[in-house]
Structure 1
Amino acid sequence: MMPEYSLFLRGFFKDPKRVGNILPSSNSLANKIVQSVQWNNVTAVAELGAGTGAITRLITSQLMDSAQLLLFERNRQMREFLKVLYPECMFHSNASYLLKKLIQENIRELDCIICGLPFFNFSSELREHILHQIVKSLKPGGILVAYQHSLHMKRQWAKQLLIENIEFVPSAFPPAFIYICRKRLELPS
């Protein structure tokens, strides 16, 4: 069995509320997520819930050399696995501290966030907190590409972001919804 699959299985059985799936994202899901972003405009991006890098691999193939990539993964074994594969990235354990980590990394704002966090498993307070961190860290017009296994976050995201598209990916296991959301542009005062 490939190491990423065993890491996911162990992580899921150890803490199913934090590791939201038993398998890494499928190639079809990862490709659709990455195709949702205009990478030539991205200089700073964060992936929340990077797992073992199924999507990270595609992100790094699209980024310009000067772009900065922050990977957030709570599971220590998966994070260590990612550090070996992507030593050029910045690694953090907790997406709840996204804004604090941007300041530490001297990054003003993000052009894009890719998010696979299992929001369904989180308390309403934690969901609100992470959503606040996401919205505050995105530049005006910045994009959030989130994938979930239900539509439970649709209303919450629509309050804070413009939902441009929701695509259902039945070939993913389990099937997933990809949300393409954009931070509203700030009006000049």
Structure 2
Amino acid sequence: MNIHEKLLFLRGFIRDPLRVGSILPSSPLLAEKIIQIIPWHEVQTVAELGAGTGALTRFIELNRAESSKLFLFERDRNMRASLKLQFPACNLHSNASSLLKNLDQEGISQLDCIICGLPFFNFSNEMKERLLRQIVRSLKPGGYFVAYQFSLHMKKKYAAYFNIERIEFVSRSFPPAFVYVCRKQRPYQ
């Protein structure tokens, strides 16, 4: 991660702290932990929600199968422009709350895995519910939802939608983060 990416992320935070949620991109330690959790041999379609400057995306690119499809969602237009330059082969979209619509336009019915760095703490209850319904509907049964948050505030909410297999604490990341490892087990209406 270079200084340009850190400044781009900081500017995004200053412009809209409720949407960006942190002053720095995800740390390499956090990215490595998330990547280790995912069984990449099972993943043909993956989405990253809140891709930021691509700090985690770089690790996804190194680990996913060449034949797999990666969908990136980033609301900040400057970060999205940076992602487009760095990852031209990825499918890039601006709004995670249109996840199902965007996947349908891409000809994808369900995803194997969603990695989420969205700052749910800053969202209204209505927005949280709308996003989580989209996420659940877009995952195949048994699909992985791996989310990182800076507190345990989403534990009950995630448990209402997924089976939480475990929560790992990454203390050496800045800020320290909780990584929720969840699976979709039941059909969701």
Alignment TM class, shorter chain as reference: over 0.9
The answer for the alignment partner of 2:180 in structure 1 is 179
Deviations 1:8-55 (A, max 9, x none): 110000100000110010010000011110001111000000001111
Note if 1:130 corresponds to 2:142.
no
Q: CA deviation at 1:167?
A: 0.6
Match of 2:171 in 1: 170
Q: Quick one: distance in 1 between partners of 2:173 and 2:94?
A: 26
2:52 is matched with 51
Instruction: Give deviations 1:117-173, integer Å, cap 9, x for gaps.
Output: 000000000000000000000000000000000111100110110000001111111
For 1:143, the equivalent position in structure 2 comes to: 144
Q: Is the counterpart of residue 28 in structure 1 residue 29 in structure 2?
A: yes
Cα displacement (A) at 1:185: 4.3
The residue number in structure 1 matching 2:112 is 111
In 2, Cα distance between equivalents of 1:99 and 1:66: 22
Provide the identity percentage.
61
What runs of 5+ residues in structure 2 fail to find an aligned partner?
none
Q: Does structure 1 residue 158 correspond to structure 2 residue 159?
A: yes
| TM-score where L is the length of structure 2 | 0.97
Say what the alpha-carbon RMSD is for the aligned residues: 0.8
Aligned to 2:81: 80
In structure 1, distance between residues paired with 2:95 and 2:137: 16
2:68 matched residue in structure 1 = 67
| DSSP 3-state at the match of 1:69 | strand
**Residues of 2 paired with 1:83 and 1:3: CA distance?**
15
Letter aligned with residue 31 of structure 2: A
Which stretches of structure 1, 4 residues or longer, exceed 2 Å deviation after superposition? none
